[in-house]
């Protein structure tokens, strides 16, 4: 497995792969790899000849008071993990390689970025759409793989690819969870033992909503308030948002018909965690 740090070298690798008629799958990440990331890479490996994973903690998607500086970094561990699932290349550029002096171009996806994480993290999706667009231009993948863990991110990127006529197939991989339900996340490493236990409130409250729907509840407001009550009952949890929107348009609803996204962002101590589930009323 190669670790490539420059855009020039990445382009040379891509040109050679394309010359040999090989398809390229891209898995963009910010590193500190866990089973969720590895599942994306394994899926990419099944359907593409060559898998490139990018490890880049993208400064433009972090707000000024967010955890960019302390975001976990572990290139040595990540290299071993990526190699173990057959990744051919880790693309690991420095920030100055991606955003040299004078950099001034950004991608704005309007509409669906104005809610959920887009509301609480202004500029976040502008940074995400921009860096993913840049990675697409550099790596020129046939396919790119993203996790449903970041449900809104997936919708934003699908919108970008469709609107800008990008010739890339996006594939979405279901949320990978720990045995006790906690959605895997690089940020879980920040949790103390007590916070780790408290963090179970996210998946537990999603389960509660799924059970309500299974029992015939379709009132989005009732589901939302029961989920909020469950979260508020956890002392270490501070709820940032709980929303139920129709899916995939993300419009506000009072009753669920068809599919709805239940998405939440919760702070456990200083760590912000997100999770979601698709509710379905048939
Ligand atoms: P990140 O490194 O957090 O930016 O994540 C990189 C990619 O991995 C994104 O497409 C995420 O949605 C995906 N991902 C992160 N955690 C999980 C998970 N628990 N299950 C599935 N995909 C995940």
Q: What is the pLDDT of residues 51-86, one digit of tens each?
A: 999 999 999 999 999 999 999 999 999 999 999 999
Q: Which domains does the chain show, CATH number per domain?
A: 2-173 (3.40.50.620), 186-277 (3.30.1300.10)
Q: At what angle do helices 124-139 and 7-19 cross, to 10 degrees?
A: 50
Model's pTM, two decimal places?
A: 0.98
Task: Kindly give the number of the ligand 1 atom that is closest to the alpha carbon of 145.
Answer: 10
Q: What pLDDT was estimated at residue 259?
A: 98
Q: Are residues 154 and 40 in contact, defined by beta-carbon separation less than 8 angstroms?
A: no
Average pLDDT, the chain: 98
Report CA dihedral (132, 99, 71, 123) to the nearest 10 degrees.
-60
Rounded distance from Cα 174 to ligand 1 centre (Å) = 10
Using the mean position of ligand 1's atoms as its centre, give its distance from the Cα of residue 219 in Å: 30
> With contact defined as beta carbons under 8 Å apart, do 149 and 185 qualify?
yes
CA of 173 from ligand 1 middle (Å) equals 9
Atom of ligand 1 nearest to the CA of 184: 19
Confidence of residue 29 (pLDDT cuts 50, 70, 90): very high
Q: Kindly report the protein residue whose alpha carbon is nearest to atom 12 of ligand 1.
A: 147
pLDDT of residue 92: 98
Strands 237-246 and 258-268 turn out to be antiparallel
* pLDDT at residue 190 in the model: 97
Query: How many Cβ atoms sit within 10 Å of the Cβ of residue 223?
Result: 22
- Cα–ligand 1 centroid distance for 210 (angstroms): 22
Which ranges in the chain belong to alpha helices (H)?
7-19, 35-47, 75-84, 95-98, 117-120, 124-139, 151-163, 193-198, 200-214, 220-232
Nearest by Cα to 219 from 166, 168, 128, 281: 281
From 34, 37, 92, 124, the catalytic residue: 37
Order the strands of the 89-91 sheet from edge to edge.
Answer: 2-4, 89-91, 50-55, 24-29, 143-147, 169-173
Nearest protein Cα to ligand 1, atom 6: 29
- List the one residue out of 36, 70, 71, 58 whose CA is nearest residue 128: 58
What pLDDT sits at residue 221? 98
Looking at residue 282, its pLDDT comes to 87
The binding-site residues of ligand 1, defined as CB within 6 angstroms of any ligand atom, are 29-30, 36-37, 40, 146-147, 149-150, 173, 175-176, 183-186
Q: What is the mean pLDDT of residues 31-59?
A: 98
Number of continuous H segments (helices) and E segments (strands) in the chain: 10, 9
The per-residue pLDDT for range 177-198, each reduced to its tens digit, is 999 999 999 999 999 999 999 9
> Which of 37, 59, 199 to probe ligand 1 with, by most ligand atoms within 8 A of CB?
37
Tell me, yes or no, if 34 is annotated catalytic: no
State the Cα angle at 68 between 63 and 70, rounded to 5°.
Answer: 140
């Amino acid at each position: 497995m190669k670790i490539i740090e420059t855009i020039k070298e990445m382009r040379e690798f891509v040109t050679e792969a394309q010359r040999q008629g090989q398809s390229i799958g891209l898995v963009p990440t910010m590193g500190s790899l866990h089973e969720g990331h590895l599942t994306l890479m394994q899926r990419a490996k099944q359907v593409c000849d060559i898998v490139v994973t990018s490890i880049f903690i993208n400064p433009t998607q972090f707000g000024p008071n967010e955890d960019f500086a302390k975001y976990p970094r572990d290139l040595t561990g990540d290299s071993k993990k990526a190699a173990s699932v057959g990744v051919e290349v880790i693309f690991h550029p420095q920030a100055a390689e991606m955003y040299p002096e004078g950099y001034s171009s950004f991608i704005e996806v309007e509409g669906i970025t104005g809610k959920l994480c887009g509301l609480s993290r202004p500029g976040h999706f502008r940074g995400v759409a921009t860096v993913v667009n840049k990675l697409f231009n550099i790596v020129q993948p046939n396919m790119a793989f993203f996790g449903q863990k970041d449900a809104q991110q997936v919708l934003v990127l699908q919108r970008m690819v469709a609107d800008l006529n990008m010739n890339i197939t996006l594939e979405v991989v279901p949320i990978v969870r720990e045995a006790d339900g906690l959605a895997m996340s690089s940020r879980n490493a920040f949790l103390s033992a007590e916070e780790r236990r408290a963090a179970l409130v996210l998946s537990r409250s999603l389960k509660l909503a799924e059970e309500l729907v299974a029992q015939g509840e379709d009132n989005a407001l009732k589901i939302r308030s029961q989920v909020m009550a469950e979260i508020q009952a956890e002392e270490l949890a501070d709820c940032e948002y709980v929303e139920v929107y129709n899916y995939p348009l993300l419009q506000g609803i009072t009753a669920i018909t068809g599919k709805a996204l239940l998405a939440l962002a919760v702070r456990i101590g200083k760590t912000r965690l997100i999770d979601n589930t698709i509710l379905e009323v048939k």
